[in-house]
Amino acid sequence: MRNSANYTSAAIPAKNGGGVSYDGRSVTINGQHRILFSGSIHYPRSTPQCQMWPSLISKAKEGGLDVIQTYVFWNLHEPRQGQFDFSGRADIVRFIKEIHAQGLYVTLRIGPFIESEWTYGGLPFWLHDVPGIVFRSDNQPFKDHMQKFAAKIVSMMKSENLYASQGGPIILSQIENEYQTIESDFGDKGPSYVRWAAAMAVRLQTGVPWLMCKQDDAPDPVINTCNGYRCGQTFKGPNSPNKPSVWTENWTSFLQVYGNETKKRSAQDIAFHHGGTNFGRTAAAFVTTSYYDEAPIDEYGLIRQPKWGHLKELHATIKSCSQTLLTAVQQTFSLGQHQKSF
């Protein structure tokens, strides 16, 4: 869980047949510009047993969130080629329906490479045995398997009417994950893979916008987004004036590696720039089994103060002036030779 008030108005479901779009100001839902606060809850890092999923979602909502985002864990769902598992902690449909029942939206980060400090970045180990495969490249064997899995997840969501275009809670989807950090390693196969992944995702026709995080050159109409500690300072911004600024991750802490010093952020620092657990052998190499325990809601589902309360107040304050923020026209005034006012 990352960046996690109690508002009287719950999220408004998008109308059947559409309702989610975007422009240079924000994402729009049913034609209304929205400032949306989201937080991550990864369904395999928690459990539906003992009402843990409903409890986590409820606490996130009370903290002022509008959206729950989650990755989709390919190697969890297809541990052996062609053999799928969507039961127990892998029951993603049940998880999304619980989010919907509590009046929140969903961002579905399909990947299918997700990193997420998860074993093999979410890729199934059996991919190694595919002849001629090169992961995350303009490589036909990899693209075939990636497209097959992405299409399966989208088809599953559609069959359950979970996209906002069908009246469901999913308002955004993500393809790939932080690819730009390694793109140059693939030479000319990198940029062509990005273009292919974006086009492939759009062809799946979810009826909601697609995202690519840490991908400055995300092809239209896919939105480029920021992950990081201080996106307000480091994010180059949307790569088109017609796209909104989106931060998919505002890191409340950082992954813990065995033997390394624990990294923490104060509530004030998170707000100014404005958890989970790895079960079994699902953690990436060297990563501790306790994942993002410094988040506003920790791995046990407990509220962590002062982060949770401080962010709750921040969310409420911004929401109180959201209409002005989303409709006003920015103007710049000179206050002297070296000063400006906005």
pLDDT of residue 103: 97
Sequence spans of domains, the chain: 20-249+305-316
Q: pLDDT-derived band of residue 192, with 50, 70 and 90 as boundaries?
A: very high
Mean predicted lDDT score pLDDT of the chain: 88
Which H or E element spans position 131? none
Correct CATH for 20-249+305-316 of 1.10.3720.10, 3.20.20.80, 1.20.1250.20, 1.10.287.70: 3.20.20.80
- How far is the C-alpha of 112 from the C-alpha of 100, rounded, in Å? 23
pLDDT tens-place string over residues 193-228: 999 999 999 999 999 999 999 999 999 999 999 998
Q: Which residues are catalytic?
A: 178, 249
Q: Flag whether pLDDT at 9 surpasses 80.
A: no
Structure tokens at 80: 């052996």
Q: Residue 311: is it exposed, middle or buried by C-beta count within 10 angstroms (0-12/13-18/19+)? A: buried
Q: pLDDT-derived band of residue 5, with 50, 70 and 90 as boundaries?
A: very low
pLDDT of residue 6: 26
Looking at 8-17, 286-295, 323-332, which range is the least confident one?
Answer: 8-17
Q: pLDDT-derived band of residue 2, with 50, 70 and 90 as boundaries?
A: very low
pLDDT tens-place string over residues 101-143: 999 999 999 999 999 889 999 999 999 999 999 999 999 999 9
Q: pLDDT-derived band of residue 285, with 50, 70 and 90 as boundaries?
A: low
pLDDT of residue 31: 93
pLDDT of residue 338: 75
Contact in structure between 220 and 227 (CB atoms under 8 Å) = no
